Amino acid sequence: MSHTYHRRTSSTVIFLGLLLAFTITVTFLSEGMGAGVISTSFVKTLGKTLCLALVAISMDLVWGYAGILSLGHFAFFGLGGYMIGMWLMYERTREVVVTSLADAPIPPTPQEVSDAIANRIFGVVGSADFPMIWAFADSLLAQLMLVVLVPGVLAGVFGWLAFRSRVAGVYLSILTQAMTLALSLYLFQNDNGLRGNNGLSGLQNLPGLTDVPQALVSVWFLWGAALALGLGYLLAVWVVSGKFGSVLRGIRDDETRVRFLGYPVETYKLVLFTGTACMAGIAGALYYPQAGIINPAELAPIASIYLAVWVAIGGRGRLYGAVIGAAFVSLVSSWFTGGQAPDVPLGFYTIKWVDWWLVVLGLSFVLVTLLAPKGIGGLFDLLERRVAPDRHGADLGPDQGSLREEESRE
């Protein structure tokens, strides 16, 4: 056991060290605070990637450690973004409105200010009233709490309903996907109070900090994202290394057996599902102010599936694998789809990566699933010469795909 503990801590220390080094390097190379080698937009991309890594960790916890393939965690991520976006948009619009009304001969009443804000925000969907759900939009503290509460409560209710009726495996995946679809369809409606498919925009402008250049704001958000990722990673390591983590792995490998041993399986799953949803919400709240805009398309079921793809390619069941997968796949994706990758002329046909990247991603995903279930993280096993025993094609344990024997040796 001591060996295991040492190895885990060492990987955590290495990860945190790398994260710190990365943050310091980017800070000193950024436009806002250093040499200006890295452009502000790329600093934002890196900051967003850190947020994606955080949501990937939450996905890895539910999927890699507890075996719940949730296709809804990116929806929780988006909900967090919506919650913080409401405050950002409200406060920012309020500033603009108050400034424009300041020159009037008679000061505006609170009602007039509120009407003017509502008109500016909801004019685009043909409404001029604040919907109920914006009741707390004027309070940063309340919206920050909602960032955690809304995804948490949704996940809690959904998880409670699903786990208590013993929906598991692929059924649960399909059900979470349906939940995500319902949520995104709901958000697409214009009369839902969240501006329909226009989404919330202008989130990069921080209220009260209009004079601060974006170059500096981007570095702040990079720090915030790095801090959140570091803390999230530590939390995740703490969760999976204790007894709680052992039970989770037990549930993943054989749920029934864990239940017969007397553990309240549903409670464990629910706590994990809800907790990771909150984590995803926080990641989203840090992501969307950097992205500047959030709309319902961000929450579509496909996004949650991509999240699973990142974790699978990075290597599930190990936390740094999720981080590597999210960072690698999202950065490579944006490189290919951003039109920076050079075209490949074949003579009869020119491969444009903008068109063909998704095909490559899809097929490489199939190949990773088939040939390298451990993902990129498996490379570290090769480095450490940890070789899984050759079982001549038989299962690793009683349940499909479990790593039980390997782990019991540890």
> Which spans of this chain sit near another protein (rule: CB under 8 A)?
67, 69, 104-111, 158, 161-162, 164-167, 169-171, 173-175, 177-179, 181-182, 185-186, 188-189, 191, 301-302, 305, 308-309, 312, 355-356, 358-359, 361-366, 369-370, 373, 395, 400-401
How near is the Cβ of 219 to another protein at its closest, in Å?
35
Q: What SS3 class is residue 145?
A: helix
How near is the Cβ of 183 to another protein at its closest, in Å?
8
Smaller CB separation from another protein, 37 or 161: 161
Joined together, the tokens standing for residue 402 give 């479990």
The single-letter code of the amino acid at 211 is D
d(CA 236, CA 62): 11
How near is the Cβ of 111 to another protein at its closest, in Å?
7
How near is the Cβ of 112 to another protein at its closest, in Å?
8
How near is the Cβ of 225 to another protein at its closest, in Å?
27
Smaller CB separation from another protein, 44 or 318: 318
Joined together, the tokens standing for residue 332 give 């490579």
d(CA 333, CA 320): 20
Closest CA to 56 of 376, 319, 251: 319
Smaller CB separation from another protein, 178 or 388: 178
Smaller CB separation from another protein, 13 or 360: 360
DSSP 8-state class, residue 200: E
Smaller CB separation from another protein, 43 or 97: 97
Q: What SS3 class is residue 38?
A: strand
Q: How far is CA 219 from CA 89, 223, 224, 233, 298, in A?
A: 21, 6, 9, 21, 24
Smaller CB separation from another protein, 107 or 123: 107
| Sign of the dihedral defined by the CA atoms of residues 157, 247, 73, 238, in that order | positive
Smaller CB separation from another protein, 145 or 174: 174
d(CA 404, CA 251): 11
How near is the Cβ of 189 to another protein at its closest, in Å?
5
d(CA 319, CA 53): 10
- Tally of CB atoms within 10 A around 21: 10
Helix orientation angle between 265-291 and 73-101, rounded to the nearest 10 degrees: 40
DSSP 8-state class, residue 300: S
Contact 189, 133 (CB under 8 A): no
Smaller CB separation from another protein, 244 or 356: 356
How near is the Cβ of 375 to another protein at its closest, in Å?
11
How near is the Cβ of 267 to another protein at its closest, in Å?
17
Q: For the chain, how far is it from start to end, CA to CA, in angstroms?
A: 6
